[in-house]
């Protein structure tokens, strides 16, 4: 995930013949608006009643990742929180930054062993959270907020730059000091605070691993990574080609229609999903509340769920992925299924930009937008049909 990435969107570039410089200026302005700066002319608030809720999954309150590239942790942590509610284990506010810290450490080892020829940055994918909780455990937000030095909100600008600079400086020497990790951890301590080895929760003492196992009942095998791209065989797994997939995580590959059906079926049965999607395009406008794939790129002045949309198919989706239009920009938490007055399907999605937008941090994403722009999913295994699990070779 690269929240602040600037890139040309294929449709706008071909239709409007804009230069790279022009597009960057336009997209930069869009990012400023996304941050919550008010427009001079107020727009009428969208009507959420235009959609009928088919199923809504209980989820924890909307959070704000603020000035960080950690949506992967916020979205997948929210998924785990919803799963603990679904499974009857209780409602928890888990620390996103405990996981972020542990993944920073894994990224650093990978970067050093690959001698700098690897991705090192704040981004990540959903499977990173699943791996981190299985390997290092989890802690409540009250135990480790990641806010240090009097911070009121997350800001990793200096942290990211300092960590990268430190690693690059080490790579200029041979041999690399054997204790280089100590310096890396000192930087994390300074910006995020020291990570707890033990803590007390509800009058019991835990380690992060015992808390994840005994309180959350967390198991990595309870989650399945899914995608849909035709350059690999369907019903097999492959390493998703995305810059932030530094751990080389594998994803089960389904035909597009089946990926959509898995998503719908999961929600219908009471399970939520982590959604990884391209959002650096002209259609993703959280300020509108409704996210559609408008036909011919023409976004109307007043947005309606029943606006006409682009047709989608596997081939079109694949073209956008291979020409680098579709990329893993942002990860969110899909928590509901809805229908418009004409029967169009929408997904209710919880974002991690605070209560921004007309629906206080939530958006309503059309099936067409979902089909074209989805990069990957993390789905609870219990939500997947047993016949499909057998076909994929999942026990």
Residue-wise pLDDT for 135-178, tens only, equals: 999 999 999 999 987 889 999 999 999 999 999 999 999 999 99
For the chain, which residues make up each domain, given as ranges?
10-392
pLDDT of residue 4: 39
Residue of 245, 253, 281, 351 with catalytic role? 351
Q: Which residue do the tokens 């041999």 mark?
A: 175
Share of the chain above pLDDT 70, in %: 88
Which residues, 6+ apart, have CB-to-CB distance to 363 below 8 Å?
Answer: 286, 289, 290, 291, 332, 348, 349, 351, 357
Active-site choice (71, 225, 253, 333): 71
**How are beta strands 199-201 and 204-206 bridged, if at all?**
antiparallel
Predicted local confidence at residue 14, as pLDDT: 33
pLDDT computed for residue 13 by the predictor: 33
Predicted local confidence at residue 150, as pLDDT: 81
Query: 314 is written with which tokens?
Result: 């596997």
Residues with Cβ < 8 Å from 302, sequence gap 6 or more?
44
CATH code of the region 10-392 = 3.90.70.10
Confidence of residue 298 (pLDDT cuts 50, 70, 90): confident
191 is known as an active-site residue = no
pLDDT band at residue 357 under the 50/70/90 scheme: very high
d(CA 304, CA 280): 21
pLDDT on residue 43:
46
pLDDT at 40 over 60: no
> Per-residue pLDDT for 5 more than 50?
no
Residues near 92 by Cβ (< 8 Å), separated by ≥ 6? 60, 81, 84, 140, 215, 216
pLDDT at 45: 55
Q: Which of 154, 156, 191, 330 is catalytic?
A: 330
pTM, two decimal places: 0.89
Cα separations in angstroms, 281 against 10, 13, 352, 360, 372: 8, 11, 18, 21, 12
Q: Active-site residue 330, yes or no?
A: yes
Question: Do β-strands 362-366 and 290-291 pair in parallel, antiparallel, or remain unpaired?
Answer: parallel
What is the spatial distance between Cα 194 and Cα 189, in angstroms, rounded to a whole number?
Answer: 5
Q: How far apart are CA 60 and CA 317, in angstroms?
A: 32
351 is catalytic: yes
Flag whether pLDDT at 36 surpasses 60: no
Interior angle at CA 126, CA 125 and CA 128, nearest 5: 75
**What is the predicted pLDDT for the residue at 62?**
98
**Residue 336 to residue 275: CA distance in whole angstroms:** 12
Residues 115-138, mean pLDDT to the nearest whole number: 97
Q: Is the pLDDT of residue 49 over 70?
A: yes
* Mean of per-residue pLDDT scores for the chain: 90
* pLDDT at 15 > cutoff 90: no
Residue 72 scores a pLDDT above 50 = yes
Q: What is the pLDDT confidence band of residue 48, given thresholds at 50, 70 and 90?
A: low
Q: Mapped to the 3 state alphabet, what secondary structure does the chain carry?
A: CCCCCCCCCHHHHHHHCCCHHHHHHHHHHHHHHHCCCCCCCCCCCCCHHHEEEEEECCCCCCCECCECCCHHHHHHHHHHHHHHHHCCCCCCCECHHHHHHHHHHHHHHHHHHCCCCCCCCCCCCHHHHHHHHHHHCCCECCCCCCCCCCCCCCECHHHHHHHHHHHHHHCCCCCCCCCHHHHHHHHHHHHHCCCCCCEEECCEEECHHHHHHHCCCCCHHHEEEEECCCCCCCCCEEECCCCCCCCCCEEEECCHHHHHHHHHHHHHCCCCEEEEECCCCCCCCHHHCEECCEHHHCCCCCCCCCCCECCCCHHHHHHHHHCCCCCCCEEEEEEEEEEECCCCEEEEEECCECCCCCCCCEEEEEHHHHHHHEEEEEEEHHHCCHHHHHHHCCC
Give tens-digit pLDDT for 180-199: 999 999 999 999 999 999 99
The model's confidence at residue 46, banded by pLDDT at 50, 70 and 90, is low
């Amino acid at each position: 995930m690269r929240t602040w990435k600037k890139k040309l969107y294929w449709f706008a570039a071909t239709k409007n013949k804009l230069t790279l410089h022009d597009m960057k200026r336009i997209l930069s302005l869009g990012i400023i608006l996304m941050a919550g700066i008010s427009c001079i002319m107020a727009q009428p608030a969208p009507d959420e009643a235009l959609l009928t809720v088919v199923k809504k999954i209980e989820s924890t309150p909307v959070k704000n990742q603020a000035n960080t590239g950690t949506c992967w942790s916020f979205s997948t942590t929210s998924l785990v929180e919803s799963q603990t509610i679904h499974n009857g284990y209780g409602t928890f506010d888990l620390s996103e930054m405990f996981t972020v810290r542990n993944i920073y450490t894994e990224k650093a080892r990978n970067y050093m062993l690959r001698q700098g020829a690897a991705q090192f940055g704040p981004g990540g994918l959903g499977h990173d959270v699943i791996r981190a909780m299985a390997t290092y455990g989890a802690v409540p937000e009250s135990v480790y907020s990641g806010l240090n030095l009097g911070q009121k909100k997350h800001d990793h600008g200096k942290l990211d730059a300092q960590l990268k600079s430190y690693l690059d400086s080490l790579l200029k020497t041979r041999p690399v000091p054997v204790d280089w990790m100590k310096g890396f951890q000192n930087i994390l301590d300074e910006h995020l605070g020291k990570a707890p080895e033990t803590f007390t929760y509800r009058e019991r003492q835990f380690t992060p691993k015992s808390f994840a196992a005994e309180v959350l009942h967390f198991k990595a095998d309870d989650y399945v990574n899914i995608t849909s791209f035709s350059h690999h065989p369907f019903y097999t797994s492959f390493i998703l080609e995305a810059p932030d997939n530094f751990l080389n995580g594998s994803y089960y590959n389904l035909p597009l229609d089946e990926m959509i059906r898995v998503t719908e079926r999961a929600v219908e049965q009471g399970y939520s999903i982590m959604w990884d999607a391209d959002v650096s395009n002209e259609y993703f406008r959280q300020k509108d509340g409704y996210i559609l794939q408008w036909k011919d790129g023409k976004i109307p002045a007043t947005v309606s769920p029943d606006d006409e949309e682009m047709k989608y198919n596997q081939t079109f989706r694949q073209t956008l992925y291979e020409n680098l239009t579709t990329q893993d920009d942002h990860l969110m938490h899909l928590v509901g299924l809805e229908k418009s007055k004409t029967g169009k399907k929408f997904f209710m999605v919880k974002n991690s930009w605070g209560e921004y937008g007309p629906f206080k941090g939530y958006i309503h994403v059309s099936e067409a937008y979902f089909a074209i722009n989805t990069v990957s999913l993390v789905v609870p295994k219990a939500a997947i049909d047993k016949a499909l699990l057998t076909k994929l070779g999942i026990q």
